[in-house]
Chain A
Amino acid sequence: MLTIGKLAAIAHVSPDALRYYEREKLIAPTAKSDGGYRLYDEGAVRRIRFIKQAQNCGFTLSEIGELLTLRSRSSACCGDVRKRAIEKKLQLESKIRAMKAMSKALDGLVAECTEESHPIDDCPILSALDRANGIR
């Protein structure tokens, strides 16, 4: 059995992160020591690696909880997980699209400012932002 410190070291996360995962019901100690300390089995290492990998793919902790539930449900199939992965991809693509639009808007603002020595009251970028708010 592993203490929280040992588990954290093996899985490369902090003990605080493990406690947070526990509050989010993603992991749970297998037992408690006589002194009341959390104890985990080897399966916890695999579970934490799963959580971290899923986070790297953009899944929220709540969504990761759903994936873990699916993994343990005998009636679930790979298609259920694939659907969630595709939906996550759509969300990410949507965010990328929104961020590209923001970047393009910034290009326009930067292009308005060709003289960096303008006093702040004449700053074309601030004026452009004011115009966007309807202030002339």
Chain B
Amino acid sequence: MKIELIYTEGCEKCAAARHELRAAAATAVHDLVWREINVLDEVDYAVQLGVIALPSIAIDGQLVFASLPSGLQLQQEMARREKDILRDRCVSPK
């Protein structure tokens, strides 16, 4: 599962929260891909995702949080998506 955290530099509070979120996400799934994106480096991609507030979090290319969630909220969302993925695999096995 790919988590992308789109942020802007200069926010110390966000930097600490990013660290905590990454740790929380790492415990939620085995296949975590964690990407932190400085929005000014990838403006086009951020616009494509629909980001209009910072920081934001996208999961597997879909904008999910328009502000930083708690570690628990992120884990719950990841778990819900993981469950959906597993269910889809069972319905249409490759």
Contact = CB atoms under 8 A, between A and B. Distances in A.
A93 interface: yes
A66 B47 CA distance: 23
Nearest to B51: A90
Interface string B48-81: 1011111000000000000000000000000000
A91 B8 contact: no
Interface stretch (A3-11, A35-43, A78-86, A109-117): A78-86
A91 B48 CA distance: 11
A90 B39 contact: yes
Nearest to A84: B54
16 contacts: A78-B10, A79-B8, A79-B11, A83-B11, A86-B8, A86-B39, A86-B40, A86-B54, A87-B54, A90-B39, A90-B47, A90-B52, A90-B54, A93-B44, A94-B50, A97-B48
A83 B14 CA distance: 12
Q: Quick one: which of A83, A87, A93, A94 has the most chain B CB within 10 A?
A: A83
Contact of A91 (B39, B40, B52): B52
Size band of the interface chain A makes with B: 10 to 19
Interface of B: 8, 10-11, 39-40, 43-44, 46-48, 50-54
Contacts of B39: 86, 90
Contacts of B51: 90
A90 B48 CA distance: 10
A90 B42 CA distance: 11
B19 to A, nearest CB: 18
